[in-house]
Amino acid sequence: MRPELDETHDPALASWVESANAADADFPIQNLPFGRFRRPQATEWCIAVAIGDQALDLLRAGLVDTDDMNRLMQADVASRHALRRAISRALRRGSAGADRLRAWLVPQADVEMGLPCRIGDYTDFYTGIHHATNVGKLFRPDNPLLPNYKWVPIGYHGRASSIVASPRPFERPSGQFKLPDEPAPSFGPTRRLDFELELGAFVGMPNALGEPIPMEQAEAHLFGLALLNDWTARDVQTWEYQPLGPFLSKSFATSVSPWIVTLEALAPFRVPFERPAGDPQPLPYLDSVANRRTGAIDISLEVALQTAAMRDAGSPAQPLMTSNFRESYWTLAQLVAHHSVNGCNLQAGDLLGTGTQSGSAPAQGGSLLELSQGGKLPLRLANGESRSFLEDGDSVILRARCERSGFRRIGFGECRGTVLPARVRAG
Q: What is the pLDDT of residues 100-120, one digit of tens each?
A: 999 999 999 999 999 999 999
Contacts with 275 (C-beta within 8 Å, 6 or more apart), sequence order: 281, 282
Q: d(Cα 332, Cα 296) in Å, to the nearest integer? A: 8
pLDDT of 95 > 60? The answer is yes
CB neighbours of residue 421 within 10 Å: 11
- Residue 238, pLDDT score: 95
Enter the pTM of the model: 0.97
Alpha helices in 53-171 (DSSP H): 69-73, 77-91, 98-102, 129-139
Q: What is the pLDDT of residues 338-355, one digit of tens each?
A: 999 999 999 999 999 999
pLDDT of 408 > 80? The answer is yes
Q: What is the mean pLDDT of residues 387-409?
A: 98
pLDDT of 261 > 90? The answer is yes
Set 9, 81, 130, 131: catalytic member: 131
For residue 353, CA distances in Å to 71, 289, 318, 405 come to: 21, 24, 25, 29
Q: What is the pLDDT of residues 16-37, one digit of tens each?
A: 999 999 999 999 999 999 999 9
Q: What is the mean pLDDT of residues 190-215?
A: 98
- Residue 4, pLDDT score: 85
- Residue 426, pLDDT score: 52
Q: d(Cα 159, Cα 161) in Å, to the nearest integer? A: 6
Rounded to 5 degrees, what angle do the CA atoms 198, 357, 258 make?
A: 20
- Residue 425, pLDDT score: 61
Q: What is the mean pLDDT of residues 233-247?
A: 95
* SS3 state at 292: helix
Percent helix / strand / coil, the chain, rounded to 5: 20, 25, 50
Residue ranges and CATH numbers for the domains of the chain are: 7-113 (2.30.30.230), 122-420 (3.90.850.10)
Q: d(Cα 124, Cα 299) in Å, to the nearest integer? A: 19
DSSP-derived pairing of the beta strands 170-171 and 296-297 = unpaired
- Residue 223, pLDDT score: 98
Select from 221, 217, 224, 185 the least CA-distant residue to 49: 224
- Residue 2, pLDDT score: 57
- Residue 226, pLDDT score: 99
pLDDT of 283 > 80? The answer is yes
First CA to last CA across the chain, in angstroms?
55
131 is an active site residue: yes
Q: Provide the strand spans (E) within 264-331.
A: 270-271, 296-297, 300-306, 318-324
Max CA separation in the chain (angstroms): 74
- Residue 3, pLDDT score: 65
The pair phi, psi for residue 313, each rounded to 5°, is -85, 0
- Residue 12, pLDDT score: 98
pLDDT of 208 > 90? The answer is yes
pLDDT of 53 > 90? The answer is yes
How buried is 32 (Cβ within 10 angstroms: 0-12 exposed, 13-18 middle, 19+ buried)? buried
pLDDT of 1 > 80? The answer is no
Q: What is the mean pLDDT of residues 307-315?
A: 98
Q: What is the pLDDT of residues 115-169, one digit of tens each?
A: 999 999 999 999 999 999 999 999 898 889 999 999 999 999 999 999 999 999 9
